[in-house]
Structure 1
Amino acid sequence: MTASSSATGIRPIIWADDHLKLIDQRVLPNEERWVDCRSAAEVADAIHGMAVRGAPAIGIAAAYGLVLDALAGRDYEAADRVLMESRPTAVNLRWALLRMRELKSQGADAKALLAEAIRIHEEDLAQNLAMGEAGAALLPPNAVVITHCNTGALATGGHGTALGVIRSAWARGRLSQVYNGETRPWLQGARLTAWELLYEKIPARLIADGAAAHLMQREKIDWVIVGADRIAVNGDTANKIGTYALAVAARHHGVKFMVVAPSGTFDLNCPNGAAIPIEERPPNELTEFRGSRIAPEAMQAWNPVFDVTPASLIDAIVCERGVIEQPTEQKIRALLG
Structure 2
Amino acid sequence: MSLAALEVLRFERPVLHVLDQALLPGEERWLAIRSLDELTEAIGSLRVRGAPLLGLCGAAGVALAAEVDAGEANLRLAAKRVGAVRPTAVELASGATACLRAVLAVPEMARAAAAWDFCAGYLERRRAEDLALATHGVAVMPRGDVLTHCNTGTLATGGVGTALGVIRAAFEAGRIERCYVTETRPLLQGARLTTWELLRSGIPAVLLPDAAAAALLFSGVVAAVITGADRIASNGDTANKVGTLGLALAAARVGVPFFVAAPTSTVDPGCASGGEIPIEFRAPEEVGGFGGQRWAPGGIAAWNPAFDVTPGELITGIITELGVVEPPYGERLAALTERGRWEGVHG
Find the residue that maps to 1:259 and give its secondary structure.
strand
- How much does 1:139 deviate? 1.7
Question: 1:288, 1:96 → 2: CA distance?
Answer: 33
Q: Which amino acid aligns with 1:102?
A: R
1:107 paired to 2:106: yes
**Contact between 1:13 and 1:21, CA under 8 Å: does it hold in 2?**
yes
Q: 2:128 maps to which residue? A: 126
Pairwise mapping of residues 1-337 of structure 1 onto structure 2 (< 5 A)?
8-73=4-69, 75-107=74-106, 109-141=111-143, 143-337=144-338
- How much does 1:7 deviate? 5.3
Pair 101,171 (structure 1): closer, same or farther in 2 beyond 3 Å: same
Question: 1:241, 1:132 → 2: CA distance?
Answer: 24
Q: Which 10-residue stretch deviates more, 102-111 or 165-174? A: 102-111
Question: 1:240, 1:173 → 2: CA distance?
Answer: 28
Structure 1: segments with no counterpart, 5+ residues:
1-5
Q: Which amino acid aligns with 1:218?
A: S
Deviations 1:289-313 (A, max 9, x none): 1122210123110100100000000
Q: Which amino acid aligns with 1:124?
A: R
Find the residue that maps to 1:61 and give its secondary structure.
helix
Deviations 1:140-189 (A, max 9, x none): 33x21100000000000220000000011111111112100000000000
Q: Which amino acid aligns with 1:30?
A: G
Question: 1:54, 1:82 → 2: CA distance?
Answer: 18
- How much does 1:327 deviate? 4.1
Question: 2:142, 2:291 → 1: CA distance?
Answer: 40
Q: Structure 1-normalised TM-score?
A: 0.95
Deviations 1:204-232 (A, max 9, x none): 10011111111111133211000000000
Find the residue that maps to 1:196 and give its secondary structure.
helix
- How much does 1:333 deviate? 1.1
Question: 1:9, 1:239 → 2: CA distance?
Answer: 22
Q: Which amino acid aligns with 1:11?
A: E
**Contact between 1:39 and 1:68, CA under 8 Å: does it hold in 2?**
yes
Q: Which amino acid aligns with 1:145?
A: V
Q: 1:3 maps to which residue? A: none
Q: 2:342 maps to which residue? A: none
Find the residue that maps to 1:158 and give its secondary structure.
coil
**Contact between 2:84 and 2:93, CA under 8 Å: does it hold in 1?**
no
Q: Structure 2-normalised TM-score?
A: 0.92
Q: CA RMSD in A?
A: 1.4
Deviations 1:97-121 (A, max 9, x none): 1211211332352111211111111
Structure 2: segments with no counterpart, 5+ residues:
339-347
Find the residue that maps to 1:137 and give its secondary structure.
helix
**Contact between 2:11 and 2:119, CA under 8 Å: does it hold in 1?**
no
Question: 1:199, 1:289 → 2: CA distance?
Answer: 25
**Contact between 1:148 and 1:189, CA under 8 Å: does it hold in 2?**
yes
Question: 2:135, 2:328 → 1: CA distance?
Answer: 19
- How much does 1:26 deviate? 0.6
Identity %: 46
Question: 1:238, 1:9 → 2: CA distance?
Answer: 25
Q: Which 10-residue stretch deviates more, 105-114 or 302-311? A: 105-114
After superposing on structure 2, the runs of 4+ consecutive aligned residues of structure 1 that deviate more than 2 Å are 6-9, 71-75
Deviations 1:236-282 (A, max 9, x none): 00000000000000000110000000011000000000000000001
Find the residue that maps to 2:23 and give its secondary structure.
coil
Question: 1:200, 1:320 → 2: CA distance?
Answer: 21
